[in-house]
Amino acid sequence: MSSFGSIAPFLIFYVGAALVAVTAGHVRSAIMLLTPVVGALNLYAMAADFNATFALFDYSLIVVRVDKLSTLFGYLFHLAAFLGIIFSLHLNDRMQQVTALLYAGSALGAVYAGDLLTLFLSWEMLAITSFFLVLARRTERAFSAGMRYLIIQVLSGVLLLAGTVVIGYTTGSFAFDKMTLEGLGPTLIFIAFGIKCAFPALHNWLTDAYPESTPSGTVFLSAFSTKVAVYAFARGFPGTELLVYIGATMAMFPIFFAVIENDLRRVLSYSLINQVGFMVCGIGIGTSLAINGAVSHAFSHVLYKSLLFMSMGAVLYRTGKMNGSDLGGLYKSMPWTTVFCIVGAASISAFPLFSGFVSKSMVMYAAIKEGHPFVWLALLFASAGVFHHAGIKIPYFAFFAHDSGIRCKEAPLNMLIAMGLTAALCIFIGSYPWWLYSMLPYPVDYAPYTWAHVLTQCQLLFFSALAFVWLQLRGLYPPELPSTNIDVEWTYRKMLPAFVTAVRRVVRQVTDRIRREGGQIISTASNRIEALASQTGILGSTWAISTTAMWILILLTGYIFIFYI
């Protein structure tokens, strides 16, 4: 693997991270920018059917497997890393910069893994490196959120490893190919993928940790972890019907939290889950059109979600605030950031000529075509909802609404360049989707720009905007107020520690009672031994000691059972 075009994609990023760790200043910045460029050239030179294998005992591991699916995600992750690096060039934080390259490299390692063991190694590296991106903000809230994040991500890795071992034992192979949701091994792997994909009730690691990361860290976080899980489902479980209903639920439930959330980066985190729901639903439908829609929407989503997180990151960088109740009127100070945010909002809302329009509709069309009318209605509702909370709420409360009186500088030049490039790509893909369609896994027989589709989408957007205006004028739209929203995470952040404390208290009371009563019994037994010894001699003493030992053994057994069980 020494010639160019046959180097494992993750290896280039790992080498780049090592070089960044020992350099500084402009040299470090140049290495960071060159890493994804060199990686993309290496990827371009790779043969379409390139495989790199590694022998481990009696198993042959496929460290690198190239096909159309992995290649599309490979280019996407190189592009996301390049844009994220430009956005973070103002930093002089070695930990963030090294970790970001390792994180992107781990994502590439996962999408090119041809076996489950290689996938597991990249899976765990994703967890560890992203954990340090959360910690990089260096606040108490970031540390607490990062620890919770790491525990859940490691749990996902443990489940993946357990499923891999079961499959290896039962089949004699660790190949990462299509699986059916039957048996223990595939079920464990399905749950592991679901955790990283932010399934309902397993999603709070995302909304808990992403808003606590740095402005640059959140841009990287939004691009990789959940998309690796989407890729893993597309590779391992296409056509699994359960994913249709999980995806539809993911698309709907975050809307209600996003509408009432005050922290705008947390709004975007809920919105991220909403958009991943469309991808999961498409993978569950499993037809070539649906898979193409899911994969193309992943591509579009990484761009416009990164753009939205960039714009909010620029606001946080300049103002130090992120609550909608504290912002407003920033279009006067940050006009370019405002424009780029609006482009991201239009893209996620699927306006015609923007990227979301040409990808999201493929999933919805596949749903109705394959006989899922209620799923289609759920996705339609989710589309209207995302326009409310991400298309309108984010730019409105950050840059318009009331004037907060904050006057600050425009975002740094490198941030503006990154946002400008990302915005241009959102418009390019939306205006010329056939460039993206040509890279999809299956031939595309779908035309997004039909009169019926354009008119339907414009009607949906118009009435959604009308509803927002009406709710605002009537005072019915949830106001932006400092608040804490109760989500599933509170079951393990508050209820679980309280439950453990209660159990400890009960165990302590029981063990104290055992000690007290056990001491009394032993004291009484000792007195009886002395009395019997004086009356019956050696034989009586032996019998008394044996009886006392039996009681002590019973007490110790009960103590151990209660204390440890």
Q: Give DSSP secondary structure letters for 445-512.
A: ---S--HHHHHHHHHHHHHHHHHHHHHHHTT-SPP--------TTHIIIIIHHHHHHHHHHHHHHHHH
Question: What is the distance of C-alpha 398 from the center of its chain?
Answer: 24
- Residue 64: both structure tokens together: 């690198």
Q: What is the pLDDT of residue 543?
A: 44
Within the chain, which residues score under 50 in pLDDT? Answer: 1, 533, 536-545, 551, 556, 558-565
- Residue 413: both structure tokens together: 């030049």
| 200-206 contacts, C-beta under 8 A, 24 or more apart | 200/246, 200/249, 200/250, 200/253, 201/488, 202/152, 203/250, 203/254, 203/273, 203/488, 204/487, 204/488, 204/489, 205/148, 205/149, 205/152, 205/153, 206/269, 206/272, 206/273
Residue 564 CB contacts under 8 Å (≥ 6 apart), including other chains:
none
Q: What is the pLDDT of residue 479?
A: 72
Q: What is the pLDDT of residue 537?
A: 47
Q: What is the pLDDT of residue 179?
A: 94
Q: What is the pLDDT of residue 545?
A: 47
Each residue's pLDDT tens digit, 177-213: 999 998 999 999 999 999 999 999 999 999 999 999 9
Domain boundaries of the chain, sorted by first residue: 238-487, 489-565
Mean pLDDT of all residues belonging to the chain: 88
- Residue 544: both structure tokens together: 């008394």
Q: What is the pLDDT of residue 536?
A: 46
Q: How far apart are CA 406 and CA 326, in angstroms?
A: 9
Output the pTM of the full model.
0.87
Q: What is the pLDDT of residue 564?
A: 39
Q: What is the pLDDT of residue 61?
A: 83
